[in-house]
Amino acid sequence: MKIAITAHGEGGQAAVDSRFGRTDYFVLYDQETDTWDSLPNTQNLEAAHGAGIQAGQSLAKTGAKVLITGHVGPKAFKVLQAAEIAMYSFGDINSTAEDVLSAFLAGKLSAIDNPGAMGYGK
């Protein structure tokens, strides 16, 4: 299974980013191969609108089944739901993608079951 984490940089040591649509990178961990990959989100950093929708569509193309982020807006939430990507919040964990992945694998993260701004939808 592929797990995507929003981050400020590439790889497992990248600092996590609470933004979904305007995150710098999606850091992807593949459980089957135990490898890390990164997908830049540059096309959405300066988008006037629709960044979450476009980011959701890009993420769906990677084959990721899980997204770990800070929060997801309503339109992006619908795109991710349609792509059957489960969403989790890293909450107050302000660390690296590897740390957030470990917390997810240990069952310590909350599912995002409602869209919303930072601190909501958890």
In a domain, 17, yes or no: yes
Residue 98 has pLDDT above 90, yes or no: yes
- What is the arithmetic mean of pLDDT over 89-103? 92
In a domain, 116, yes or no: no
> What are residue 16's DSSP bridge partners?
7
Residues in the chain: 122
Strand 2-7 relative to strand 25-30, pairing: antiparallel
In a domain, 62, yes or no: yes
Structure tokens at 94: 């302000």
> What are residue 53's DSSP bridge partners?
none
Distance CA 66, CA 76 (A): 14
In a domain, 119, yes or no: no
In a domain, 89, yes or no: yes
53: domain range? Answer: 2-111
Residue 120 has pLDDT above 50, yes or no: no
Q: Considering its fold, how many domains does the chain have in total?
A: 1
Q: Find where tokens 């305007």 sit.
A: 22
- What is the arithmetic mean of pLDDT over 107-113? 94
In a domain, 118, yes or no: no
Confidence band of 122 (pLDDT split at 50, 70, 90):
very low
Q: If you average pLDDT over every residue of the chain, what do you get? A: 89
In a domain, 121, yes or no: no
Confidence band of 118 (pLDDT split at 50, 70, 90):
very low
- Identify the CATH number of the domain in which residue 95 sits: 3.30.420.130
